Structure 1
Amino acid sequence: MAEEDAEIALLHRLQAGQESIAWGTDGAGGAPEGEIPSNTEDNNEQVKKQTVADDEVLRAYSPSGSGAVSDDGDEYDPSSVTPLPAAVIAGDEQSRSSSRASSRKPKTVGGFLADDSDEESDESSSVQISTGLQPPAHNILNRTISPSPLQVSITPSDLQTPIQNPDDSQQGVLSLSTLSVNPNLSGARTSQAPSMQVPMSAGLSASVQSASAPKGRLPHDRIGILEDRIKEDPRGDLDAWRSLISEHRKRNKFDDARAVYERFFKVFPQAAEMWVEYAEMELENDNFGAAEQIFGKSLLTVPNVQLWSTYLNYIRRMNDLTNDATGNARTTVSQAYDFVLANIGVDRDSGNIWQEYIQFVRSIPGQIGGSSWQDQQKMDSLRKAYQRAICVPMSTVSALWKEYDQFEMGLNKMTGRKFIQERSPGYMTARGANTMLENLNRGLIRTTLPKLAPALGFEGDGEYLQQVELWHKWITWEQEDPLVLKADELDVYKQRILYVYKQSLMALRFWPEMWVDAAEWCFANGLEKDGDTFLSDGIAANPDSCLLAFKKADRLETTLSTEEADKGPAERGAIVRAPYDSLLDSLYDLIKQLKVREARELAKVEESAALDANISAIIAKAEDEDDERDSDKEARESDKANKQAAIKQGYATQSQLISRTISFVWIALMRAMRRVQGKGAVKDAIGGSRQIFADARARGKITSDVYVASALIEHHVYKDPAGTKIFERGAKLFPEDSIFILEYLKHLLSIGDTTNARVTFETSVSRLTGKSELLAKAKPLYSYFHKYESNYGELSQIRKLEQRMAELFPEDPKLLRFASRYSGENFDPTAVRPIISPATQMRPKSTVLQSIEKPASVTDSPRPQYVQENSPRPQYIQQTNSPKRPFPIEDFENDLNRPRKLARGESPLKGAAGRRLDQQKRMQQAQGVPQWQANAPPFVVPRDITFLLSIIPRADLYTSTKFNPESMVRLLSQTNIPDYMTWKAAREQPQPHRYDVTEVEVEA
């Protein structure tokens, strides 16, 4: 009984520990060092049998036609990639025994296990994945964990499974990893801990050997957990960055906080909010030298009002104006204001800085309105500051205009009125532009902490795209020149647009299209330096963006003809190739990261399955069950298999997409090198397009598109037979790629090799139709070859081919297949319907709509039909198609006094509508339907009104706000419209007084 109690207690500890491993399930673990072995450069028997074909291709590439073949076995061979077989654990489970504690005492620092000690112990042990399940008990570091009798062990002989390695055909032994349920805690005495032997597939074992699960972190090791999160996702986990900095600052570890800040700004160099926090931290500690370095790094690249305001506060703090006997402090502050306003003075949120600057100018020694040179100088400076500020669309422009009006009118009314009239158009334009900007930017989030764009179809994608659209609207608004600056102040016009682009890129740092858009605008407006800076910064922010890399390479290739004319082909090629190489490095690194993540997630699934199995065994033994039920075991195995399959499928899709992207980057580089260096030769100083093709094959992870592009370049540009040899080589590497086979067929038919084309077609479709899952891939091949036979083949061949297609694809219409023989790319003669009788076939459709007097009839409807009664009491009107508006019931406040809707006499109509109405009445009378008609005199409706009533919608279809004629008449009757003389006199009044009145009315 005591043994069962101990096992139940262990079960509770395991469950409690499972709840405390947030560091494991949240992805907090750091990315393991090393890389998972890749099967992209296989060298199996199939590749060895095809070395002769490689010799022919490279021999054709060499200038003399007999170039040496080197490292051909290292080429990318997709057909040779074979998955590793799963390791099979033979033998039954051995008796349960407790694991012996390690005799080596771990090295500790501050009560925690040191990294060196941990790494040294890992070197002498097998690959071990820690589940990190620690019992949440007090004083756990001083406790010993009792051994558990529930350890399940497997003998080493059972864990060794020889596996054939397809890369080098060598035998290998994959030992299964051991999961330690309760690993030795830091600073605690070593004790016997239970362990589980978890069976894993061979492929997973190989992956885990190079990418083990993250090291265990204690739940209270907050800094370590945050560091792991940052290492795992540096660009996406902004919360981890900010939390880590906050944690260091709470602990007064300012040196560590500075180090994290510097790392953060390498990823987010334009995060103005974090620059402000960094500077304020240094200023709080009176570290003025470090604060100045921060301002020097950030100000010129981060046009943010908050950051520049912090800089101004620092300048005013360091230059005391109250004790400025020499005037140097005031000069420094004045220069700082000029520097700030020249960079961010056009910002819509810079109103406070403008007001502070004007107050600073007012504090200059001198008296406004005085006659001395100092007074005149102060007056000129203040007027200049006001005139600059009132032309900027910002929230404080109205208040500044009012101050300026008082300033000018206080000096001299005559000259003041002149200045006011001159500056009034600029102020009115700025005030109107501010209103438009306020409406335009409603909903815009001007953040400086950018986020990665969510994938389409996932949470947040709509909101992110909405922000992109709002930024584009603002940029377009500035480009339309609403402030009328392009004609007279072109530099200011460009500065405003450039400023908005920089603002947008602080929020959309990870949106490559915005970087390219900004660079394109700069190139089109003579700002080449700024455009190149945008491209370089965009690539630094998005190293895996094909759009930015292609644009940068295109820019370099375009400027080579003028700036680099003195350089040779080798140097020019190196310049153009640099952006492509950087992009390829990033994409290949993404492939490695995907493998690491996949291995980690698969390892977590294995750990979870093993833990569940161990818990189930404990429960079964506690309930006196000899063995666990087979149904539960099968359910767990099925669930684990489903999870692993979903993980593998998801990562396979991502890997395939990146591989396709890599292939098209190689193709773009190949074409660029052909333009710069020509076709070149392999391993030559001027490699050209052929060297790029060789490099792509050697590096791997490419698709058949690279082979197709290289072969077509050889054929179309150089008329070289090497193109056919490349196709032949690709056909052996991609035998089930229908897209490649189709391009190969087109190439063979274009060079007139119909015999090999037919052989290739028959071989390919036989291989594809032999497997049911590949049958759909054969359809494009059949369609293309059927079209070729229809154009140039014999009728017997066409009929045989159609018969085969009918058997393989019975769902396709036979008539459509027959008609495809005679159709062209944009025309099908079998679908033409000639006009034989225009009077019969081209009769226009009737435009007369249904009657407006009666609702549309509902045939065979179970709804009861409304029949008016022959009664002297008022009849409520049935809903009709009349265009007349109903009573505006919502306008009557008293429900008791609402008008009673009584039936009115119908107006007789002439024309088609009248005849149709008369016919309907006669039909109703013939059916015995009683009708009640008022004795109203007949009224003849004009023909045009009748037609209008027949085409306008019914009144009940109008659901928008209804027009209230009584309110409109009341408004017009109470509106005071002045006569011409009064209006003219008001127009001739002085404008400043009019603006004062307007401002007073606005304030009121």
Structure 2
Amino acid sequence: MSGGATPTLSVDASNKSLTPPTAAVQRDPSDIEGRIRDKIERNPVDILAYLELVQYYESRDAFEDSRKIYTELHNKFPFYSPLWTLQLKGELQRDEFKVVERLLAECLSGEKANNDLQLWSTYLDYVRRTNNLITGGQEARAVVMKAFQLVMEKCAVFEPRSSSFWSEYLGFLEQWKPVNKWEDQQRIDMIRRLYKRMLCVPFESIEKNWNRYTQWEQEVNSLTARKFIGELSPDYMKARSLYQEWSQLTRGLRRSPPSSLSTANKNTIPSIDEELDPNQLRIWLRWIEWEKENKLGLENEMLQSRILYVYKQGIQHMLFAAEMWYDYAMFISDATERCQILSTAVRANPTSPSLTFKLAECYELDNKYDLVQKCFEDCTQSLLREYHLMLASENEFRIYKQKKKMTFVNCIYMNTMKRLSGLSAARSVFGKCRKLKNNLTHDIYIENAYLEFQNQNDYKTACKVLELGLKYFQEDAAYINKYMDFLIVINKDSQIKTLFETSVEKLKDLEGLRSIYKKMISYESKFGTLNNVYSLEKRFFERFPHENLIEVFADRYRVQDENLIKQLELTYMNDDKYSETDDMLSSSLKRSRGSQANGQSHKKMKRGPAVPNEIIDLLAIIPKRQYFKAALLDPQNLVTYLNEQVELPPPSHV
């Protein structure tokens, strides 16, 4: 940090997060509201619990209470458009137009500006309801047309699944009944402009709309039809090709937000409790990279808008994926806006280390040191709250992982405070961590010891810290190993031997004990005497009589942590990582084999996938399409129903 004196930051020693959350109150089964609020208190980012409370209030006509819950949700998840859409639809059903107008202004502009087709479609519904064409005439029609134009430019031209919008816009223009030839020509020009705009956009049903357009041109004027169709054909062919490419790229992408409160469930609303699907995240990131290639040949401003649209869609569906938020924030060049995005990301993901660290960096660059401290305090408190709740589950793996996460964040917190405000601030953080005792892993003691040593070359304080940690981790082989490594670095021979002798009698973990013996044998081999080595080896083989003699011998002749005897002579025993030469040879072989395999698989792919017999049987018995004059089943509604209402059972393990 350059210039000026080092700022002094006070680290409050009384950390509220050190107090475990109070046990859940035993509520009466009829106290539905209380039980839902308990659920929210346990998990403050559980969107479904909030919506459950909204449904409870609305079922009792307590609409002011439901609005307060929505406000909480919007403050916590301002860019999650389905929440705005659900509230707006409910308010429109109750004809609360003033509330709708206020909400639309809040969610479509300013800091909370969303960009989502369902949300914009709700805006269109509001405009059409408040501008009656029968009573409003030309003025009302002009307002509605401006609204359609706005939605098209803001959102629809970027959305591959926008066929419903284009159909609605076309339907609106086609329903216009002109009163004279001038109006009729105006309507034709508007429809033609809309087709030209629409058929340059890669979206579903583009082929169907192209056929509709060519037929329309023939009906308007068969003499000019060929000219207009020929002018638009190259752009249409490009858009159709790009949509097909996009479809292949995003195959398997799940985008099914709830259409109403009743369809809000874990299939349609993201949940932090559900494990992140890495395949879905990869598809979103692939889509974004595809957009950045600018295959549509857009100007820079339009390209940026298109990429931003996909990012905003991505953070909705990957709401609890830190990488999606991080990528979105890093795409933004403006530092203030980036900081706002990261702040929103942390509100949705309060226990995310990566987002917390990045937000803290942004505040640090702006010299907002109090906000840096608040970032870490909020994250550690959220992690500790989760940890206390996990203790009841008795899932040892999850509990240990949470301890590791808490320790990691506190280590970075401590180092950051040292960088910003000096050693005293770092010691204050460590002091709070000490109160947690063995609720953190041993890494906090190791990290603090190195911090003390690096700061003032003060090995005495560092050793005191490590001795303090020994009270809680004297049976932790990993801690003993790291303690020994530190003592070896500072060359404290007597302390190394003392630590070794006191530890080998207490350790019950045989694998850990084996590693400590080998470390001590290696140390004596390099810095001690051969007699000491033989004495240690004798004790080692008494404890582990089945160990391979030459392996133990080779292990103490490691150079820079490489067992070169195994690599160069006893190659048949080598289970260490490859040398650089081996690695280069291996990579070369893999590349050549991979290219051959790709060539063969490419040939196989040309044959096309085999169609299952069940599909062939079904196609053989269903009637041909020419027997049906109109569609009997709307496929889009069927897909929506399956996504929102049908929950597939988990696959059975054979």
**Alignment partners' CA distance in 2, 1:71 and 1:467:** 41
Structure 1 pair 826–217 and aligned structure 2 pair: CA distance change class (3 A):
same
Please name the residue that 1:214 is paired with: 26
* 2:143 corresponds to which of 332, 339, 342: 332
The structure-2 alpha-carbon separation of the partners of 1:539 and 1:802, relative to structure 1 and needing over 3 Å to count, comes to same
- Counterpart of 1:740, as a letter, is Y
2-side partners of 1:831 and 1:392: how far apart?
A: 59
> CA 1:705–1:246 in structure 2 vs 1: closer, same or farther (change >3 Å)?
closer
Q: 1:241 to 1:553 in 2, by over 3 A?
A: closer
Match of 2:530 among 795, 814, 820: 795
Match for residue 388 of structure 2 among 592, 596, 612? 592
Q: Specify whether residues 826 and 314 from structure 1 end up closer, same or farther in structure 2 by C-alpha distance, changes over 3 A only.
A: same
Post-superposition shift, 1:540?
1.0
- CA 1:224–1:714: 2 relative to 1, 3 Å: closer
The structure whose RCO (Cα within 8 Å, separation 6+) is larger is 2
Mapping 1:178-193, distance limit 5 Å? none
- Are positions 1:424 and 2:233 aligned together? yes
Tell me what 1:395 maps to.
204
1:65-464 matches, within 5 Å, as 211=23, 214-218=26-30, 225-233=35-43, 235-236=45-46, 238=48, 241-265=50-74, 269=78, 272-300=81-109, 301-324=113-136, 327-345=138-156, 346-360=158-172, 381-402=190-211, 404-405=213-214, 420-448=229-257, 449-452=268-271, 464=277
Deviation per residue, 1:823-877 (Å, 9 max, x gap): 3333423664599xxxxxxxxxxxxxxxxxxxxxxxxxxxxxxxxxxxxxxxxxx
Q: Match for 2:370 among 567, 574, 577?
A: 574
Task: Name the residue aligned to 1:719.
Answer: 457
- Partners in 2 of 1:329 and 1:244 — Cα distance? 38
Secondary structure, counterpart of 2:295 in structure 1: coil
Q: 1:810 aligns with which of 539, 542, 545?
A: 545
- Scaled by the length of structure 2, what TM-score is found? 0.72
Query: How many angstroms does 1:283 deviate by?
Result: 2.3
Kindly indicate whether the alpha-carbon contact (under 8 Å) linking 2:410 and 2:444 is maintained by their aligned counterparts in 1: yes
1:539 paired residue number: 346
1:668 paired residue number: 412
CA contact (8 A) 1:479 1:497 kept: yes
Alpha-carbon distance change, 732 to 241 in structure 1, aligned in 2, over 3 angstroms: closer
Instruction: Tell me: CA distance 1:556–1:249, structure 2 relative to 1, closer, same or farther (3 Å).
Output: closer
What does 1:512-911 align with in structure 2 at a 5 Å threshold? 512-520=322-330, 522-523=331-332, 526=333, 528=335, 531-557=338-364, 560=365, 564=366, 572-594=368-390, 598=392, 648=394, 650=395, 653-677=397-421, 679-680=422-423, 682=424, 687=425, 689-697=426-434, 701-721=439-459, 722-768=461-507, 773-824=508-559, 825-829=561-565, 832-833=568-569
Q: Which residue of 2 aligns with 1:471?
A: 284
Q: Distance in 1 between matches of 2:76 and 2:177?
A: 47
What amino acid is the match of 1:666? N
Provide Cα deviations, 1:43-79, integer angstroms capped at 9, x if missing partner: xxxxxxxxxxxxxxxxxxxx9xxxxxx999x99xxxx
Following superposition, the deviation at residue 759 of structure 1 comes to: 2.0
Alpha-carbon contact 2:162-2:203 (below 8 Å) kept: yes
For 2:265, the equivalent position in structure 1 comes to none
User: Greater CA radius of gyration, 1 or 2?
Assistant: 1
The offset of 1:781, in angstroms, is 1.8
Q: Report the residue type matching 1:475 in the other structure.
A: I
Partner-residue secondary structure (3-state), 1:767: coil
The 1-side partners of 2:427 and 2:100 are apart by 54
User: Which whole-Å deviations, capped at 9, do the CAs of 1:758-786 have from their partners, x for residues lacking one?
Assistant: 22222222333xxxx34443222211111
Give the residue type in structure 2 aligned to 1:282.
E
Give the aligned residue type for 1:807.
Answer: E
Q: 1:493 aligns with which of 296, 303, 318?
A: 303
Q: Distance in 2 between matches of 1:398 and 1:547?
A: 44
Query: Corresponding residue for 2:314?
Result: 504
Per-residue deviation at 1:542?
0.8
Normalization by structure 1: what TM-score? Answer: 0.49
Q: Tell me the residue number matched to 1:882.
A: none
Q: Tell me the SS of whatever aligns to 2:506.
A: helix
Q: Which has the higher helix share?
A: 2
Q: Kindly tell me: are residues 261 and 376 of structure 1, through their superposed partners in 2, closer, same or farther at Cα, counting changes over 3 Å?
A: same
Amino acid at match of 1:294: L
Residue in 1 that maps onto 2:642? none
In structure 2, the CA distance between the partners of 1:416 and 1:533, relative to structure 1 (3 Å rule), is: farther
* Residue type of the alignment partner of 1:286: D
Once the two structures are overlaid, the 10-residue window that deviates more, 375-384 or 543-552, is: 375-384
| Unpaired segments ≥5 residues, structure 1 | 1-62, 64-69, 76-205, 565-570, 599-646, 836-958, 964-1004
Cα deviation digits, residues 665-690 of structure 1 (max 9, x gap): 1211222233334x34x3xxxx3x34
1:787 maps to a residue whose letter is: S
Partner letter of residue 813 of structure 1? N
Does the 8 Å contact 1:393/1:431 carry over to 2?
A: yes
CA contact (8 A) 1:248 1:254 kept: yes
In structure 1, C-alpha distance between the alignment counterparts of 2:531 and 2:440, rounded to whole Å: 41
C-alpha displacement of 1:543: 0.3
Q: How far did residue 490 of structure 1 move?
A: 2.1
1:514 Cα deviation after fit: 1.7
CA–CA distance in structure 1, aligned partners of residues 441 and 221 of structure 2 = 80
Aligned identity (percent) is 30
Question: Aligned residues, how many?
Answer: 547
CA distance in 1, matches of 2:524, 2:179: 98
When residues 831 and 470 of structure 1 are mapped into structure 2, their CA distance, relative to the original with a 3 A threshold, is: closer
Partner of residue 613, structure 2: none
> Which AA in structure 2 matches 1:829?
I
Over 3 Å counting, the alpha-carbon distance change for 1:313 and 1:434 in structure 2 is same
Q: CA deviation at 1:389?
A: 1.4
Larger CA deviation: 529-538 vs 223-232: 223-232
Q: Which amino acid aligns with 1:745?
A: M
In 2: Cα distance, 1:400 partner to 1:672 partner = 58
Q: Secondary structure at the match of 2:491?
A: coil
